[in-house]
A and B are shown apart, each in its own frame.
Chain A
Amino acid sequence: MVILHRVRTTCPHRTIRWMAAAVLGAGLACGASPALAAAPSVTVSADQALRFGSFFTDTTGTRTVSATGSVSGSAIVPLTGAAPGPAQFTFTYDRGNNANVAYSLLISVLVPGTASQVSGGVTGSIARFDTDLPGVSTLVPGQSQQITLTGCQRRTCSRTFRVGGTLQVARTSGGASLAIPVPIVVTVLAEL
């Protein structure tokens, strides 16, 4: 408003130039110009499943696959099969404009509900997850964690992160192929 007030006192030629500067400034700041910017958006993709591999347990046992890929177990016998490994997700934020300004993102990560499955005489559940996201070593289903992602510079800011977990198995009979849904909800709380 100050700019527009001032341009009224100038010649028409100057007015056009001032207005151009003002519009450009607004576009860089807020993405208000459709020609230069779009609404910010966020996407998360599941790149790879969390793989606990094949194992035998008599009645109950646990197997842990960490976000870094280390594997351990209790009361189980590992068997040959697909190699265990952490899940992998990719978070991508599109700020909606091409401003070359460094920024950080405050995001929350949530695994909603419980991660469990019953298949015949086998019950599998994951009580907690761990990640290699900075500052978030543990993810408990139903409890969100906040993370600040730094170092964003361009229009899109992307992070690939891994998720491990501990699978608890209770077996009364037979075996099972478990495929437990693990939804990951990422919310951008603020662009800093």
Chain B
Amino acid sequence: MIKLYDYELSGNCFKLRLLMAILGVKYEPVAVDFYPGLEHKSPWFLQLNPLGQLPVIDDDGYILRDAQAILIYLASKYDPSAKWYPTGSPNLLGEVCQWMAFADAITSTASAARLHDGLFYDFDIEACRTGAHRLFRILDEHLWFGEDQGNDWLCSGSHPTVADLACFPYVVLSEEGGISRQDYPAIRRWTDRVKRIPGFRVMPGIFPAGPGPKTT
């Protein structure tokens, strides 16, 4: 079975739990004392990932680090429909990779702000927040124009991809870093759509979607 080296309050771990829940993939979480124990910097963990970062998976002896890389691996291996990581379409695949890189930028701004405010990391908080707002403005515009074209998701096409799951957690947790999403209405609609994907699960700090529009 897949082992997920996991920390409950980590958005990067959550995105893997989320994809595995959606795909119905069974896994065994291995809790890592990220805070306050800093176990991800301990010798045994550094053997697993010399970067000292969560998450890491061990799939029957195959060890992989980096949340975005693991999303790609899991979707490629466990989604026979190939919709979550659409290798059949060069254009769509290009877009997925573009937004996966964007997710890393969200991690280094919005997630960093959350670590500063919640767990007292020594970061330049104003730079983190300004950077996150710049990304959110770009994301909101992209989603707004997408909705206008009938697109519900980050990439073109009618099905969500790993890019949506990669960007979702630290957007929706942004207020814990003092980054309001009040000015981003298209982001709010998109996060609600992600929450309605069948199999969606929550983590502390993320609530389920409210009752949806009635279909009679």
A binds B: no
